[in-house]
Amino acid sequence: MPSSGSRSGNRSKGAGRKRKSGGADVGSRGLHVRVKTAKRRRTSSTRWLERQLNDPYVKAAQEHGYRSRAAWKLIELDDRFRLLKKGGKVVELGAAPGGWTQVAVDRVGQGGVVVAVDIQEMEPVPGATILLGDLYELETEERIKDALGGKADVVLSDMAAPATGHKRTDHLRVIALCEAALDLADGVLAPGGAFVAKVLKGGTERELLNHMKKSFEHVHHAKPKASRADSSEEYVVATGYRRAFNEEENQ
């Protein structure tokens, strides 16, 4: 597992290219592009290419200088739940290639802190501290705490394991990542803080949900418009962090 980290402490506007600011009003626009099947291209690749070319979020991400269409999911979630405050401290899990990181840095502004973690290398995002690490390793949590330098206002997780196509396996993997993120949140969140994690539709385990309901004032499920309609992905958004689960269990 990778354990080295790289940091980029200089806070400057945007991440390389200057981005136009804006909300999540992307919608579908433009003409439908059809892709001819080339001799050496498989049908699935042609379908993927056609989907990319016709996806308004891909186009909008390019126009705004975001590294991934996923950026729009966080924009929508933040516009709805007001998670990212100016000067706030954010931990972001599963950050590569960095679309959410760009949005988080923009929204917390100059006085904020963004600690972005991924098991994969990613290009620096000015204004964010990038940590290369696996959330399942204890050492990663310590490094996150060091980089934060205090309690976090928000813990965001867009972590995903590669899909196997086996529904039950994929479900268990997503739940395990969500549990690990929640564990981390428990160690770093300030009272009143918020937690967001990717889950699969209808898939947040009862036990996990009960934990969240006890520890946060409000728990919602949300499917941003930017999340593909044919994907079972959605997000669990918990706000108003009360206290650590372990504290509660020990009483």
Ligand X SMILES: C[S@@+](CC[C@H](N)C(=O)[O-])C[C@H]1O[C@@H](n2cnc3c(N)ncnc32)[C@H](O)[C@@H]1O
**Helices assigned H by DSSP within 1-132:** 43-53, 56-64, 71-81, 99-108
Question: Which residues inside 171-190 make contact with ligand X, applying CB under 6 A?
Answer: 177
The yes or no reply on residue 83 touching ligand X (CB under 6 A) is no
Provide the edge-to-edge strand list for the sheet that holds 216-222. 128-132, 113-118, 89-93, 152-157, 189-200, 233-241, 216-222
Q: Please state, in angstroms and rounded to a whole number, the distance separating the CA atoms of residues 105 and 127.
A: 6
The yes or no reply on residue 97 touching ligand X (CB under 6 A) is yes
> Binding ligand X by CB under 6 A: which of 100, 195, 216, 235?
100
Q: Judged by CB under 6 A, which stretch of 51-59, 82-90, 118-126, 184-192 contacts ligand X?
A: 118-126
Q: Please state, in angstroms and rounded to a whole number, the distance separating the CA atoms of residues 29 and 71.
A: 18
Closer residue to ligand X, CB minimum distance, 61 or 212 = 61
Q: Binding-site residue total for ligand X (CB under 6 A)?
A: 24
> Binding ligand X by CB under 6 A: which of 26, 60, 70, 128?
70
The yes or no reply on residue 241 touching ligand X (CB under 6 A) is no
> Binding ligand X by CB under 6 A: which of 67, 89, 107, 143?
67
Q: Which of 189, 168, 196 is nearest to 241 (CA)?
A: 189
From 198, 201, 213, 223, the catalytic residue: 198
Which string of x and - marks every residue 34-53 that binds ligand X (by CB under 6 A)?
--------------------
Residues in Cβ contact with 208 at an 8 Å cutoff, skipping those fewer than 6 apart: 175, 178, 179, 182
**Tokens of residue 87, six digits:** 């000067």
Q: What phi and psi, each to the nearest 5 degrees, are found at residue 132?
A: -90, 115
Active site residue 198: yes
Interface residues toward ligand X, by CB under 6 A: 67-68, 70-71, 93-100, 117-120, 134-136, 158-161, 177
* Residues known to be catalytic: 198
